[in-house]
Structure formats: structure tokens, C-alpha cells
Amino acid sequence: MRIPLRIRQDRPTPGASGRRRRTAALLGLGTVITGTFTGVLAAGPAVPANAACTPAWKMVPAAVEATEVQDVQVLSPKDVRFTANVASDWGAGMSETVWNGSKNTAAGPQIPLQPKRSTFSGSRSSYDSASSGWVIVSPGGGWGDIATVTMGRWDGSKWTLVPTAPSPDPEHSRVRLSDVASVAPDDAWAVGALDGNGGLIEHWDGTEWTVADHPSSSTAGTQLIQISAASANDVWAVGLKRQSESGGAFLPYAEHYDGTRWTEVGLPSVAAPGMPDGIASTVVAKGPNDVYVGGWRGTWADWNGYRGLVMHWDGQKWSVDTGPGDVVQGGFMDGVYSSGPDDLWAIADSTLLHRTGTTWTKVVPEGAQPGGGGAGVGYYYRAVAGSGPDDVWAVGSLIYTEPAPIPGLAYANTRTVLAHLTCGGR
């Protein structure tokens, strides 16, 4: 896919949902990073995860050409699911591919571009098994013409499109879903917002999606961004709220479902001098005593000033780690994956970070590899997941340039990036 060299991806605004990206025109990877960290890990040998294995990063070929991989879900080392949006010059639509331990293949018939639609794109996904999963999809070029979002439903052999619950107030509030968590074939949750008029949680009962009752449903300025389920009675949703319904600073926000009802969970203050705003943008619930919430603090209007952080719930209290913001400045915290208390991965400002013990490090899985046959522009990671310390996936896009027919101009091309930290099957 050819796109102009200067690529604009909108900064988040109050009431918007989904994945946000900053304006990007990165011309290389040679950024000098300062802060309390040990250095940059490139492709090749990684920090040993255990005595029997020294994992290394490998770049895995994509099964379907796509503009960007949006998400990765790891069911097991031999069942990894990738959601991607196919480039228009490759037919458009959405693709879902599966890594079986040795290669990537298409997960059944793909979802093509829909009739009378200029685009059709997928975003976050979740699976409770190889035969049951969901992907949030947008059937058009934006949200302006719809009051209901569509879900892609995977049944083990094919995809079907399923409407989610309609807006409770379609005249004034459109549905904007940003994440989904599948617990069982008859139990899934999705979160988002109602055009700035409150947070939104929907539930799938095996037959239909319905709007769930929860604390922020009518609180203006509240938005839920991600959701994670450790079990059917241990589900977390995170996002942001305003200091008051009339305005004020943005604050990290969380809700928890205990199998019976949703309740608001108090998160620690992350504000600091010159950094009044903060949000919670990603969550991984491993159990009642082990929950990671990623986010940032800074000033809402200053995208480049955002500082990433990770909060952890141990069942008794919250702790806050501001280390990611010392390594990478700017942008959202888009993903967190933990294989243990001393092994934590995160995506901050499209950059892969790793924490061993208390030390954060920038990781460069692609190393010095050239960008698809042209001059490298940048690698932009969007999601991270795994099945253990020696089986980690980081996915996103490579943007590289090539000369245009007009002298002095260049095209920027986008290709899929699937980076795998692995012991090679040992």
C-alpha cells in the first residue's frame, strides 16, 4: 500500500475511542534514549528466561499482506491469532491468521470488504478457545453513519458479522467500542463509550449483545478503553474520567465485575508537578491478586509529553511504576503482558519495552534489518502477548520509503511486522 510520506494518525480527543496514534514521520531508529535503564536490546539473543533456554527474536512472515496488524492473542505456543487490516491494493477487508508453531495460515475464510463500503477494518480481538472468539470491526470509513458497532464472530470454521447492542440514546450518543474480552461461548464483554456521554459496557449471553448496568454509564467524560477477564467472576475494565462532569483534569479510571455486578475501583493518583492528567489505557488481569494496569501521565494537550506507567494490584494495595516514562516519552501505553512478577512487557508510543526486576529496557526485535527493500522509516508496535517468558509476540507495522515517479518525492509503504521471541521449539 502506498501512502504519503507524512502519515497522520489522530491524537486522542475526549470522547474518542479505540487505538490512538500520533502523527508520525520517523526517519530512522537511531534515537538516543536517556533515563534509568540498561540499554537497547536488538534482535538476536535475549535475556535468558530460564536455564534451559536462551530465546531470541525472529521476524515471522505474514500469511496475508496487510496494512497493519491490530492485535495478537496467544491461546498456546501453537495457537496464536493475528488480526490485521488488509491494504486496499490487496483487496481490503480484514484478515485473521493463525500461527501453529511453525507457520502462519489463514483462519478460515476471511472477512472481505463489505458491499457499498469504502473500508472495513478490525481492531481488538479476544478468544476463549480455538473455536470461539470475537473481533471488533467497523463496517465503514468511520462512526458518523452508525449507532451500532459490528462484531466479527469466530466459531472455529467461519466468521459471521454480529451486531452489538444499539445505543440507549441513538439520537445523541453513538456506540464506540474499543475492546472485547471473551470468557466462554456464551459469556463475553465489550467496553467503550457513548460519544463522551458516559462509559459503555456490553455483554454477550450466547444469543445477543445487551448494554450492561455499570457505574460510569451516565457519567459524562468517562470512557472505557480496555478490558481483561481472569475468569467469569473477575473482569476488569479501565479508561479515564474527568475530575468533575463539568471538566477538570483527566484521571485514570477502573471498574471490576465480581460475577454479580460492576463496581468502581479507586486507582492511585498519578499526577505530578507539570503532569496533571492521567489515564489507564491497558489492563491484564491474571487473577484476583495479580492485575496490571498500564497508562500515562502528563498534560492532555501535549502528546509528546506523555509519560508511561504501570500500576499493579496485589489483592491488597496498588503500586505504581513510572519506569516506562523514563525510557520512552510521548504517546499512549497500548499493551501490557506479564509472564511473571519479574518479567513484564509493554508497548509505549509504539515502542516495545521490557522490565526484568525493576529495570525497564527498550527492545528492538527488528535489529538492523532493512525495511522491506527500501530505506527504513520506522517500526510501530501495537500489541504484545505471549504464553511464557520464552514465547512472546510483538506485532505492528513497518513503514518504509521508496522513490516516487516525481523527482524529490517519495512513497511511504506499510507492511506487517510479526516479531517472535522464542527458543525455536526447544
CATH code, 162: 2.130.10.10
Task: Decide if pLDDT at 301 tops 60.
Answer: yes
Strands (E), 332-408: 333-340, 343-348, 351-356, 359-364, 375-388, 391-403
In a domain, 425, yes or no: no
Give every strand in the sheet of 94-99, ordered side by side.
68-76, 79-85, 94-99, 104-106
Mean pLDDT of 5-31: 32
Region 90-99: mean pLDDT is 79
Closest CA to 290 of 308, 270, 311, 309: 311
Q: Residues 6 or more apart from 112 whose CB is under 8 A from it? A: 91, 92, 93, 120
Strand order across the 307-313 sheet: 277-287, 290-298, 307-313, 318-321
More confident residue, 421 or 110: 421
Provide the pLDDT for residue 68: 78
pLDDT of residue 10: 34
The answer as to whether 48 is a domain residue is no
Percent of the chain with pLDDT over 70: 78
Number of helices (H) and strands (E), helices first, in the chain?
1, 30
What average pLDDT does range 135-150 have in this prediction? 64
At 91 the pLDDT is 60
Is 338 a member of any domain?
yes
Residue 234 has pLDDT above 50, yes or no: yes
Q: Would 393 be classed as within a structural domain?
A: no
Listing DSSP states for 177-204 in one string gives EEEEEEEETTEEEEEEESTTS-EEEEEE
Look at residue 217 and tell me if it is in a domain: yes
The predicted structure's pLDDT at residue 398: 87
Which residues share a beta bridge with 348? 333, 351
Task: Supply the pLDDT for residue 388.
Answer: 94
What is the per-residue pLDDT for 221? 87
Q: Bridge-partner residues for 298, per DSSP?
A: 277
Stronger pLDDT, 114 or 232, i.e. the higher one: 232
Does 73 have pLDDT greater than 80?
yes
Whether residue 225 is contained in a domain is answered as yes
The C-alpha cell that represents 113 in the structure block = 470488504
Cα–Cα distance between 300 and 302 in angstroms, integer? 6
| Grid cell locating 67 | 496494512
On whether residue 412 sits in a domain, the answer given is no
Q: pLDDT tens digits, residue range 239-256?
A: 999 988 778 899 999 999
The tally of domains found in the chain comes to 1
Signed CA dihedral, 275, 278, 284, 290: sign only: positive
**Rounded-to-integer distance, Cα 124 and Cα 83, Å:** 8
Task: Write the DSSP string, 253-288.
Answer: EEEEE-SS-EEEEPPPP--BTTB-EEEEEEEEEEET
pLDDT tier at 24, thresholds 50, 70, 90 = very low
| Residue 44: predicted pLDDT | 43
How far apart, in Å, are the Cα atoms of 294 and each of 46, 226, 322?
Answer: 24, 10, 10
Q: What's the pLDDT score for residue 202?
A: 97
Q: What are 200's three cell numbers?
A: 459503555
- Position 382: which residue type? R
Does the residue 53 lie in any domain? no
- pLDDT-derived band at 158, boundaries 50, 70, 90: confident
Nearest by Cα to 328 from 7, 22, 10: 22
Host domain of residue 134:
2-42+61-366
